């Protein structure tokens, strides 16, 4: 959430967008139940926004700011899935509510759009049900910066769609498939920021054979925490490959192998003294998690 935090330590930095989702199921439709956003105080004085019902009647409303309620729709006692998109900006922020969306991409028309609703910067959430013997269940709370984050989609599946792989033919979307035949399987294309539909191996990584082997490549920060990436090296092509994990921050490993990272740029050096008869081999391998 680093990129979303403002100078006051709240989620709500100007120019960022938050996608927050949750499941909500009240045991009745009359007041009071709510998923609440708070600032500085988890009690009522700190409540700045919410989704639920704190009004006469049986509707679900968006509360933003504290004493302003805008209709989302009729309430019910089913499990409802909400995605809340907040676009933070100077002055009041824009809020979009999607109720029970079924699309893997963001629908063009939200259930409710409230532009300039309120200052939505917040530092707490709470789940309220205090009167009428009302109880409410909340589950599966997700916070992220994209629609895919909000619906909990596997990040590789998101990439398959956004990279054009899916549209190019359903049978070649597998993690180990290589439809462009550049010897970089899709999973590795994802991890290295390659194009899975273009023979682009030369631009994805480079190697230098001075003093052993040095490989240089860029990692996709959106992918690296969702899959394993290893450099494998060996003295012979038929021999045993030694795995070196590639992680953000780098590290030093057996046989003098050093992984250095600078931002998303990674350099791996396998010293020349590991060579046999002047030969040293290395390759990159992606492992699905």
Q: Applying CB under 5 A, does 200 fall inside the site for Ca ion?
A: yes
Segment lying near Ca ion (by CB under 5 A), choices 62-70, 106-114, 131-139, 177-185: 177-185
94, 106, 119, 178: which one binds Ca ion (CB under 5 A): 178
| Spatial separation of the C-alpha atoms in residues 285 and 231, rounded to whole Å | 6
Rounded Cα gap, residues 160 and 174, in angstroms: 9
Stretch that binds Ca ion, among 12-20, 39-47, 176-184, 232-240 (CB under 5 A): 176-184
CB closer to Ca ion out of 12 and 194: 194
Question: Which range touches Ca ion (CB under 5 A), out of 30-38, 69-77, 182-190, 238-246?
Answer: 182-190
Minimum distance of Ca ion from residue 222's CB (angstroms) = 17
| Nearest by Cα to 55 from 43, 70, 45, 44 | 70
Helices (H) and strands (E) in the chain, counts: 6, 18
Q: Let me know if 190 is exposed, middle or buried by CB neighbors in 10 A (0-12, 13-18, 19+).
A: buried
Residue 45 phi, psi (nearest 5):
-60, -25
Choice between 123 and 182, CB closer to Ca ion: 182
Member of 11, 184, 231, 246 binding Ca ion (CB under 5 A): 184
Cross-strand pairs, 261? 266
Taking the complex as a whole, how short is the minimal distance between the CB of residue 178 and Ca ion, in angstroms?
A: 4
Phi, psi (rounded to 5 degrees) for 204: -85, -35
- With binding defined as CB under 5 A, does residue 36 bind Ca ion? no
The conformation of residue 37, written as its DSSP 8-state character, comes to E
Instruction: Say whether residue 218 binds Ca ion (CB under 5 A).
Output: no
List contacts with Ca ion (CB under 5 A).
Answer: 178, 180, 182, 184, 194-195, 200
């Amino acid at each position: 959430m680093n990129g979303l935090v403002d100078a006051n330590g709240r989620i709500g930095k100007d120019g960022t967008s938050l996608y927050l989702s949750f499941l909500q199921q009240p045991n009745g439709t009359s007041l009071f139940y709510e998923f609440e956003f708070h600032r500085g105080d988890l009690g009522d004085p700190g409540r700045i926004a919410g989704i639920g019902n704190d009004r006469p009647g049986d509707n679900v409303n968006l509360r933003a700011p504290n004493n302003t309620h805008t209709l989302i729709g009729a309430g019910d006692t089913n499990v409802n899935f909400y995605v809340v998109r907040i676009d933070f900006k100077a002055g009041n922020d824009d809020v979009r509510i999607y109720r029970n969306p079924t699309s893997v991409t963001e629908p063009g028309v939200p259930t409710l759009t409230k532009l300039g609703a309120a200052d939505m910067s917040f530092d707490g959430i709470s789940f309220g049900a205090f009167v009428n013997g009302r109880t409410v269940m909340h589950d599966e709370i997700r916070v992220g910066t994209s629609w895919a984050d909000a619906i909990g989609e596997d990040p590789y599946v998101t990439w398959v769609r956004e990279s054009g792989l899916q549209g190019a033919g359903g049978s070649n979307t597998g993690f180990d498939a290589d439809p462009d035949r550049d010897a970089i399987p899709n999973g590795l294309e994802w991890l290295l920021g390659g194009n899975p539909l273009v023979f682009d191996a030369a631009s994805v990584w480079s190697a230098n054979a001075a003093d052993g082997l040095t490989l240089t490549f860029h990692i996709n920060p959106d992918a690296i925490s969702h899959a394993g990436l290893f450099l494998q090296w060996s003295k012979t092509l038929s021999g045993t490959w030694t795995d070196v994990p590639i992680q953000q921050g780098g590290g030093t490993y057996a046989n003098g192998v050093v992984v250095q990272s600078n931002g998303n740029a990674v350099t791996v050096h396998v010293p020349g003294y590991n060579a046999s008869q002047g030969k040293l081999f290395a390759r990159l391998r992606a492992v699905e998690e």
